């Protein structure tokens, strides 16, 4: 039987959810016996490949690049998992949402700058008006709240998905 293909990515997040994914310790061996990680910060691949079975996405959708990657991942994957509070609720990245983008960037990069004040434009994607949870941008199949989700929760979710089942997280996890 072919191995299950897992892709991961982190949008507007702190990488904490990926740290928690690594924190499943020896559980990663069991996962990798049944699956290959074909895209993500943990592996070397330039583009989200076609035919991915499980997309694990950390972070809120906050910039043009986030939106593009989220859409590509959705199009090319069977199951999309929103991993962690930023992807599920917007969380900390969404705390900027009450402030207009222009004002926010000026406050940080002009008023707040001690050297070379100016809003960066080269090599950085434009911010969206608001940072939104993943399901505001694309259809999400499994929501895994937590900041970050506990390693055993991630292992449970991956284990169920690798067995072809939809993980039942009802009342198992909380926000924060």
Q: How far apart are CA 147 and CA 114, in angstroms?
A: 32
Nearest by Cα to 54 from 71, 67, 68, 37: 37
Interior angle at CA 66, CA 62 and CA 70, nearest 5: 125
How near is the Cβ of 60 to other proteins at its closest, in Å? Answer: 11
Asked if 80 touches other proteins (CB under 8 A), the answer is no
Return the range that interacts with other proteins (CB under 8 A); candidates 1-9, 70-78, 114-122, 164-172. Answer: 164-172
CB of 87 to other proteins, least distance (A): 9
Beta strands in 11-163 (DSSP E): 35-39, 52-58, 61-63, 77-83, 127-132, 142-144
Please name the residues in contact with 121: beta carbons below 8 A apart, sequence gap of 6 or more.
none
User: In the set 9, 17, 54, 82, which binds other proteins (CB under 8 A)?
Assistant: 82
Within residues 83-142, the interface with other proteins by CB under 8 A covers 85, 88-92, 94-95, 97-99, 130, 132-133, 135-136, 140
Q: How far is the CB of 143 from other proteins (least distance, A)?
A: 4
The reply on whether position 161 binds other proteins by CB under 8 A is no
Q: How far apart are CA 6 and CA 34, in angstroms?
A: 10
Q: Which is nearer to other proteins, 53 or 85 (CB)?
A: 85
Backbone conformation region of residue 91, classed left if phi is above 0, alpha if psi is from -120 to 50, else beta:
left
Would you tell me which residues interact with other proteins (CB under 8 A)? 82, 85, 88-92, 94-95, 97-99, 130, 132-133, 135-136, 140, 143-145, 147, 169-171, 173-176
């Amino acid at each position: 039987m072919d191995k299950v293909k897992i892709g991961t990515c982190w949008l507007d997040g702190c990488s904490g959810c990926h740290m928690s994914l690594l924190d499943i310790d020896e559980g990663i061996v069991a996962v990798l016996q049944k699956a290959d990680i074909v895209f993500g910060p943990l592996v070397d691949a330039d583009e989200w490949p076609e035919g991915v079975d499980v997309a694990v996405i950390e972070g809120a959708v906050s910039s043009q690049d986030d939106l593009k990657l989220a859409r590509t991942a959705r199009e090319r994957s069977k199951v999309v998992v929103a991993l962690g509070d930023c992807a599920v609720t917007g969380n900390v990245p969404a705390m900027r949402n009450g402030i207009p983008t222009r004002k926010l960037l000026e406050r940080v990069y002009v008023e707040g700058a001690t050297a070379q004040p100016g809003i960066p434009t080269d090599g950085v994607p434009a911010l969206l008006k608001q940072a939104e949870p993943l399901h505001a941008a694309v259809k999400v199949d499994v929501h895994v709240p937590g900041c970050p989700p506990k390693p055993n929760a991630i292992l449970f979710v991956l284990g169920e998905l690798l067995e072809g089942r939809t993980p039942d997280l009802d009342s198992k996890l909380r926000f924060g």
